[in-house]
Chain A
Amino acid sequence: MSIEINKNKCIGCGKCRDVCPGTLIALGEDRKAFIRYPRDCWGCTSCLKECPVYAISFFLGADMGGTGGRLHTEKEGDILKWITERPDGRVIVTEVDTRESNKY
């Protein structure tokens, strides 16, 4: 379980680094974020939600049954869109209205 940062998208704002509860992310000399301790990621998705350009996605390690899918999130007003890219290339968008409570 860890995250992947798309360097081409990253604008070096440092928000992901600030917010990670384990302080696992750093900015490199190129002012691009990178995860210093990939094995220490809790998978809390705080960094994904914080990134203004949606450069971060997360994936399940092979040891926990990951098969190559990726998840990232984008926010539009009150709607949090969770975008799953499946290993077969299919993309599934799940929209969560943050004004609505969990049904369960």
Chain B
Amino acid sequence: MKTERIKTDILIIGGGTAGCYAAVTAAENSDKQILICEKAHIKRSGCLAAGVNALNAYITEGRTPQDYADYCIKDAHGIAREDLLLTMSQRLKAVTERLEREGLVILRDEQGKYVTRGDRNIKINGENIKPLLADMAQRQPNVRVLNRVNITDIDVTGGRINGAFGIGIGDGTFYIIEASAVLMATGGAAGLYKPNNPGFSRHKMWYCPFNTGAGYAMGIRHGAEMTTFEMRFIALRCKDTIAPTGTLAQGVGAKQVNVLGEVYEQKYGLTTSERVYGTAAENAAGRGPCFLRTEGITKDQEQSLLKAYLNMAPSQTLKWLENGELPGENNVEIEGTEPYIVGGHTASGFWVDADRATTIKGLYAAGDAAGGAPQKYVTGALAEGEIAAQSMLRYLDRNEPSGISEESIARHLSEAGRFLSTSDSPYTPEQLEEAMQTVMDNYAGGIRTNYRFSEKSLGIAEKRIIQLEALSDSLRAKDAQELMYIYELRERLTVCKTVIAHLRARKETRWHCFAENTDHPERDDEHWKVFVNSRFENGSTEIILRRVSEG
């Protein structure tokens, strides 16, 4: 394999929302060399590829950062870090204004104030948000971007980071990147569980299917402390298109109704997990399918909906238009998605301090990769990118550069070389991925079991995932892209093991659907108002319980 060795001050893994903003912050505040490694192309990579419909995290007039933090903690039924939520919320206004100056269209009223949607959202045209961010990063003279470079591992010695390894998916170049400070901004993990439509449209899922949990897996492998992987995120979405429902619920006031036309949403509570649970419970009781009641909205409202969806989830508009079943005459069917691990929606991810430093020295995390602070969304990811960048600059001032050893390089090169071979294997990454998703679906609380699991079923899941991990050693790739698929599968398997360990550790049901434990169906504040954290050490996952006040 062709190799390339690069030295930089700051390495940013993942040029998405948090990654781009961190690069801009570091570049504008120092003359350090910053390198972004992005597996796709930063112009449209990650969660923001299709655009977003609103800024979900904002401090609207009359509200304070403390209000936002309080809301998130309540919505997470107590399991969230106030310090992280506060430091993030304090920056929401400034990052939003910056984006507006860069060209993001934000709706203002006659007095020039942002138009809000509910208590915490503001209305935008978010179709071009990613190209805007990418452009901001690319115009910095001290930022270099390597597109189509998939980072496969980090290098850690003595608890300190030295850099990372990656593979160019275009030409198969093996990259050795030495950096003293590294930001993990790889987003969350999709594709662990069998999706709603596992056939031809298997990637029509809510979360970005190309965010495979790489950052989590790299951290886990090197013993980073992880938090709250049992708080999975399940989105309530328009059936099949998996388009957001908030636009219908908040935009035109559509209520959730069952097949009998009964409004059921108040029955189950209004936190994020309870909303999903209500729909799952109605279906289980034989009162499904469920819908958002849009029948009767005006033609004007309908037209605005068609446009709003084009800016963020065009398949929904196509679905409405192609067979003429418009929302004004037809209620929109809704369903829960398969579970994801996403630190920007729930609290899973790296355990970080208020500087966004992980427990590996020199390694930072932001956005969906970082845990403890749910409901960050786009603006929260930007805020965390900014915090992490400032922390990394301080870290660089205090620490000497480190390097990657020849032994480690040789080991990583030989691993890649072993997978990259024309010899045959009876298995393909696709085959093992499907097997993994089936296992998680059946035994670790997927759609098939209405998100429920038991200790017994988790035991089966764990055994099968370990078998699949062993099988993945035998995979072979003919080119660099297939090699990436092997690494992605292995990342997901690592994340699955951690999810299973966390689901098993929390012996209560705090969040319906997100962690529905049939052996312990009640919430138990006396014992479980704690963070479930974990560290992978000597081949096994050690569980660490931390009090909610810790952090």
Binding site for B on A (CB under 8 A): 1-2, 18-23, 36, 38-46, 50, 58-71, 80, 82, 84, 86-87, 92, 94, 96, 98-104
From A1, A68, A102, contact of B311 by CB (8 A): A102
Q: Could you tell me if A86 and B322 are in contact, using CB atoms closer than 8 angstroms?
A: yes
Residues of B130-174 at the interface with A, using a CB-CB cut-off of 8 Å, are 147-148, 169
Q: Could you tell me if B128 and A98 are in contact, using CB atoms closer than 8 angstroms?
A: yes
Q: How far is the CA of A39 from the CA of B324 in the complex (A)?
A: 26
Asked if A64 meets B240 with Cβ closer than 8 Å, knowing A23-B481, A92-B321, A102-B53, the reply is yes
Interface stretch, picked from B60-68, B117-125, B503-511, is B117-125
Interface stretch, picked from B76-84, B88-96, B197-205, B226-234, is B197-205
Q: Could you tell me if A63 and B199 are in contact, using CB atoms closer than 8 angstroms?
A: yes
Q: How far is the CA of A63 from the CA of B202 in the complex (A)?
A: 9
User: Closest chain A residue to B205 by CB distance?
Assistant: A42
Q: How far is the CA of A64 from the CA of B323 in the complex (A)?
A: 13
Q: Could you tell me if A61 and B201 are in contact, using CB atoms closer than 8 angstroms?
A: yes
Q: Among A59, A66, A70, which residue has the most Cβ atoms of chain B within 10 A?
A: A66
Q: How far is the CA of A43 from the CA of B125 in the complex (A)?
A: 19
B40 at the interface (CB under 8 A from A): yes
Q: How far is the CB of A85 from chain B (nearest CB, A)?
A: 8
Q: Among A43, A70, A87, A101, which residue has the most Cβ atoms of chain B within 10 A?
A: A101
17 new A-B pairs (CB below 8 Å) besides A18-B43, A64-B197? A2-B201, A20-B44, A21-B40, A21-B46, A36-B481, A40-B209, A42-B50, A44-B49, A44-B50, A63-B200, A64-B201, A66-B322, A69-B318, A82-B314, A102-B304, A102-B312, A103-B307
Chain B residues positioned under 8 Å from A104 (CB to CB): 53, 117, 123, 247, 250-252, 304-305, 308
Binding site for A on B (CB under 8 A): 39-41, 43-46, 49-50, 53-54, 105-107, 115, 117, 123-128, 147-148, 169, 197, 199-205, 208-210, 240-241, 247, 250-252, 304-308, 310-312, 314-315, 317-319, 321-324, 481
Chain A residues positioned under 8 Å from B209 (CB to CB): 22, 40, 42
> Can you list 24 A-B contacts with CB-CB less than 8 angstroms, sorted by A residue number?
A18-B147, A20-B44, A21-B40, A22-B209, A23-B148, A43-B203, A46-B44, A60-B240, A61-B200, A62-B200, A64-B201, A65-B319, A69-B318, A80-B127, A84-B317, A87-B323, A94-B310, A98-B125, A101-B115, A102-B304, A102-B307, A103-B251, A104-B117, A104-B305
Q: Could you tell me if A71 and B308 are in contact, using CB atoms closer than 8 angstroms?
A: no
User: Closest chain A residue to B170 by CB distance?
Assistant: A23
Chain A residues positioned under 8 Å from B40 (CB to CB): 20-23
Q: How far is the CA of A5 from the CA of B374 in the complex (A)?
A: 39
Q: How far is the CB of B206 from chain A (nearest CB, A)?
A: 10
Q: Among A2, A42, A98, which residue has the most Cβ atoms of chain B within 10 A?
A: A42
Asked if A71 meets B105 with Cβ closer than 8 Å, knowing A39-B202, A63-B201, the reply is no
Q: Could you tell me if A100 and B125 are in contact, using CB atoms closer than 8 angstroms?
A: yes
Chain A residues positioned under 8 Å from B39 (CB to CB): 23
Q: How far is the CB of A74 from chain B (nearest CB, A)?
A: 13
Asked if A98 meets B252 with Cβ closer than 8 Å, knowing A23-B40, A104-B123, the reply is no
Chain A residues positioned under 8 Å from B128 (CB to CB): 98
Chain A residues positioned under 8 Å from B147 (CB to CB): 18
User: Closest chain A residue to B252 by CB distance?
Assistant: A104
Q: Could you tell me if B321 and A1 are in contact, using CB atoms closer than 8 angstroms?
A: no
Q: How far is the CA of A102 from the CA of B117 in the complex (A)?
A: 11
Q: How far is the CB of B97 from chain A (nearest CB, A)?
A: 15
Ranked nearest first, the 9 interchain pairs of A and B with the lowest CB-CB distance are A104-B251, A69-B322, A101-B107, A44-B49, A64-B240, A61-B201, A46-B44, A103-B304, A44-B50
Chain A residues positioned under 8 Å from B107 (CB to CB): 101-102
Q: How far is the CA of A24 from the CA of B252 in the complex (A)?
A: 36
User: Closest chain A residue to B250 by CB distance?
Assistant: A104
From A23, A36, A45, A96, contact of B50 by CB (8 A): A45
Chain B residues positioned under 8 Å from A50 (CB to CB): 44
Q: How far is the CA of A40 from the CA of B247 in the complex (A)?
A: 26
Q: Could you tell me if B210 and A1 are in contact, using CB atoms closer than 8 angstroms?
A: no
Chain B residues positioned under 8 Å from A94 (CB to CB): 306-307, 310, 317, 321
Q: How far is the CB of B520 from chain A (nearest CB, A)?
A: 36
Q: Could you tell me if A60 and B201 are in contact, using CB atoms closer than 8 angstroms?
A: yes
Q: How far is the CA of A70 from the CA of B53 in the complex (A)?
A: 22
User: Closest chain A residue to B484 by CB distance?
Assistant: A23
Q: Could you tell me if B322 and A46 are in contact, using CB atoms closer than 8 angstroms?
A: no
Chain B residues positioned under 8 Å from A82 (CB to CB): 310, 314, 317
Q: Could you tell me if B323 and A96 are in contact, using CB atoms closer than 8 angstroms?
A: no
Q: Could you tell me if B315 and A43 are in contact, using CB atoms closer than 8 angstroms?
A: yes
Q: How far is the CB of A79 from chain B (nearest CB, A)?
A: 12
User: Closest chain A residue to B199 by CB distance?
Assistant: A63
Q: Could you tell me if B323 and A69 are in contact, using CB atoms closer than 8 angstroms?
A: yes
Q: How far is the CA of A40 from the CA of B5 in the complex (A)?
A: 32
Chain B residues positioned under 8 Å from A61 (CB to CB): 197, 199-201, 204
Q: How far is the CA of A104 from the CA of B318 in the complex (A)?
A: 18
Asked if A42 meets B49 with Cβ closer than 8 Å, knowing A67-B323, A100-B125, the reply is yes
Chain B residues positioned under 8 Å from A40 (CB to CB): 202-203, 209
Q: Among B39, B204, B247, B304, which residue has the most Cβ atoms of chain A within 10 A?
A: B204
Q: How far is the CA of A45 from the CA of B315 in the complex (A)?
A: 9
Q: Could you tell me if A64 and B127 are in contact, using CB atoms closer than 8 angstroms?
A: no
User: Closest chain B residue to A36 by CB distance?
Assistant: B481
Asked if A103 meets B308 with Cβ closer than 8 Å, knowing A20-B40, A43-B315, the reply is yes
From A18, A23, A58, A98, contact of B127 by CB (8 A): A98
Chain A residues positioned under 8 Å from B50 (CB to CB): 42-46
From B169, B305, B314, B321, contact of A23 by CB (8 A): B169
